[in-house]
Amino acid sequence: MKENRTIISLIVAIVVFSSVATTTGIFTNEGPGRFNYETIRGNTVEIYGKGLYKHMTADVAIQGIAQDYITLFAGIPALVISLILALKGSYKARIVLTGVTGYFFVTYLFYTTMGMYNEMFIPYLILLCLTFFTLAQLLLSFDIKALPDMYSNKAPLRFTAGFLIFNAIAIAFLWLGVIVPPIVDGTLYPNELNHYTTLIVQGLDLGLLLPIAVVSGVMLLKKRPLGYLLVPVYTVFLSFLMAALMAKIIAMGINGVNIIPSVFIIPVFNLTAIITSVLTIKNLRQQH
């Protein structure tokens, strides 16, 4: 890869700061514990009351901790291993590295914007900056015009593109099911707002991440060169994001939250993302 020193420095910094952020989220436990809080809208929500996420609602705080586990024990190792292999010249590893970096960028974009202000705010900002520039540099390092000819006929490109589009549409309908009914019945504010100012996850998904998935899939189906990069990178990213979502669902289930039907649907999406990632990248020929 070009400019290896810059990439190495950026990845090392991401590993250091994300290790600090995730371990702080997992292992801090100070505070009085859960308590009820009346929101500005007159609703009562349960606040987690301890650790790094003590000011967040209980259901969201346990999700943050669950994702910290995935980031620490899956994301960071994947980042390091794919970097090492990419530095040895593996084109496939560079695709994986780009997708995993995308997962870190989106993770700390959400943590910066959704997490209630806490001790890790500055590390979140640093991680957001580091991951953005790392992702940008990695994406720009590919020879886009050469990519279409680098896949073997066995690569499930059309299926992968179709899956990304289907997944994006399914998640979009899920979030619109949260947003639209209160608008229609005149209550306006969904229960999922809790004591937050707006729907950050739904907003960023509907306004940014899901459109990127659809556009990537459509570009590949139309055989646009950029689609041959964005689709495999996005499926790697989605594999880790769905793994984090699975961890969140499990954590909520352990804490007595009803997780049906998500506990059946999300694993299917996660497994499909992993399988399509593996098969697509497996059938990518090494660039010479």
The whole-number pLDDT of residue 285 equals: 84
Helical spans, DSSP H, in the chain: 4-27, 58-70, 76-87, 91-114, 121-140, 157-185, 200-204, 210-221, 227-254, 262-282
Q: What is the DSSP letter of 56?
A: S
Instruction: Give how far Cα 256 sits from Cα of 3, 54, 188, 253, Å.
Output: 49, 19, 28, 5
- Integer Cα distance of 30 and 276 in angstroms: 42
Rounded-to-integer distance, Cα 146 and Cα 196, Å: 46
CA atoms within a 13 Å half-sphere pointing along the CA-CB vector of 95: 28
CA dihedral 215, 218, 220, 221 (to 10 degrees): 180
**Cα(53)–Cα(60) distance, rounded to whole angstroms?**
9
Residue in this structure with the two tokens 């400019």, named with its chain if needed? 3
**pLDDT reported for residue 213:** 98
Q: How many angstroms separate the CA atoms of 90 and 130, rounded? A: 23
Cα 123 versus chain centre, distance? 18
Write the burial class of residue 42 (CB in 10 Å: 0-12 exposed, 13-18 middle, 19+ buried): exposed
In whole angstroms, give the CA distance from residue 113 to residue 124: 9
- For the chain (288 residues), the mean pLDDT of every run of 10, in chain order, is 82 98 97 95 95 96 97 98 95 97 98 95 98 97 94 95 97 96 96 94 97 98 97 98 97 91 92 97 80
Tokens of 107: 């993770």
The amino acid occupying position 219 is M
Give the count of beta carbons closer than 10 Å to the beta carbon of residue 268: 10
Q: How far is CA 131 from CA 10, 74, 137, 185, 216, in A?
A: 8, 17, 10, 41, 20
Q: Is 38 helix (H, G, I), strand (E, B) or coil?
A: strand
Neighbours of 217 (CB within 10 A): 26
Contact 50, 31 (CB under 8 A): yes
Q: Give, rounded to a whole angstrom, the gap between the first and last alpha carbons of the chain.
A: 12
Tell me if 277 sits within 8 A of 239, measured CB to CB: yes
